[in-house]
């Protein structure tokens, strides 16, 4: 089975020990979209913990401006 993507960088984008860590992912197929996944541990009402996974895709228009030239 093929992977859907890989870490864009091995180091986390952000980390709060015992609370959350965020990583940048990159699709392994064109157009190689990038996204951020954040893993959060939060307390629940019963005294336990919940693992929250937040996956955010970067906006399609976040890239560099398109340069066009008339020939």
CA angle 31–5–11, rounded 5-degree value: 110
For the chain, give every domain's residue range: 5-57
24-42 pLDDT, tens digit per residue, is 998 888 888 889 999 999 9
Confidence of residue 9 (pLDDT cuts 50, 70, 90): confident
Read off the pTM: 0.68
Mean pLDDT for the chain overall: 84
**Whole-angstrom distance, CA of residue 24 vs CA of residue 58:** 10
Query: What residues form DSSP beta bridges with 51?
Result: 41
Give percent of the chain with pLDDT exceeding 70. Answer: 77
pLDDT at position 1 is 39
Cis peptide before 2 (omega within 30 of 0): no
């Amino acid at each position: 089975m093929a992977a859907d993507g890989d870490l864009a960088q091995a180091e986390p984008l952000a980390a709060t020990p015992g609370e959350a860590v965020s990583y940048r992912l990159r699709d392994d197929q064109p157009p190689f979209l990038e996204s951020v996944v954040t893993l959060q541990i939060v307390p629940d009402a019963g005294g336990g913990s919940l693992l929250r996974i937040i996956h955010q895709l970067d906006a399609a228009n976040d890239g560099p401006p398109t340069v066009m030239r008339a020939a």
